[in-house]
Structure 1
């Protein structure tokens, strides 16, 4: 599977029901991690989409088991459609959803967005796009 298809699959799995902006926001985070100027994502990702997507514990869609039960929503079980490829191409071409800014994290809290995420204080709330909250890195992230 090439980077384009891998990213398209992740977009569908992580944000397929979030509309164009929701999917673009998730794709923006992945590419922000690929291009991170420092910290954990620069060290682990090394500018590689595959390294970022498969980094352990980052995306539920890469886990065959969640909470001890088979995960029905994986990269492998959800073939992308043309819209997912189009958004992957958009992101791989260097585009970003401007409202997401430099966000390196997102999650769906099923509640109001907390100010800090991850809970170690490395991110501060940037914006909510559809059901996901997005977080920009703090200075402490770059020392992690």
Structure 2
């Protein structure tokens, strides 16, 4: 898969049910990780989309097994549709959803958004979009 295909697949798998803004928000976080100037994602990803998406433990959609059973919702099992390619093109051309800011993380807490995430305090709450909470890096992140 080329970068466009890979990003379109991660958008569909991670946020396909979240509407256009939800999908753009996830694409924005992925590209924020690609473009961050320091910290873990810069050190591991080195500006490479593939390294960011395939970094171990980051996206459930690239894990073939979850909780000891086969994961039916993966980037390989769910081909993207035109909307996912359009959002991938949008993100790859440098756009991002302004409400997401510099967010490097998102997750669905199945309840209210906690103020910090990850729990070590390296992120602070930015915004909730549909069911996902988005988090900007704190100064602690840049020490990772």
TM-score tier (shorter): over 0.9
Q: What's the offset of the Cα at 1:51?
A: 0.4
- Give the corresponding residue for 2:105: 105
- Give the corresponding residue for 2:74: 74
Map 1:39-118 to 2 at 5 A.
Answer: 39-118=39-118
Aligned length: 144
Q: What's the offset of the Cα at 1:112?
A: 0.2
Q: What's the offset of the Cα at 1:78?
A: 0.4
1:33 matched to 2:51? The reply is: no
2-side partners of 1:79 and 1:11: how far apart? 11
1:15 matched to 2:15? The reply is: yes
1-side partners of 2:140 and 2:118: how far apart? 12
Normalising by structure 2, we get a TM-score of 1.00
Normalising by structure 1, we get a TM-score of 1.00
Structure 1 residue ranges, 4+ long, deviating more than 4 angstroms after superposition: none
Show CA shifts across 1:9-52 (max 9, x none).
00000000000000000000000000011000000110011000
Q: What's the offset of the Cα at 1:68?
A: 0.4
CA RMSD of aligned residues (A): 0.3
1-side partners of 2:112 and 2:135: how far apart? 14
- Give the corresponding residue for 1:127: 127
Q: What's the offset of the Cα at 1:120?
A: 0.9
Q: What's the offset of the Cα at 1:87?
A: 0.1
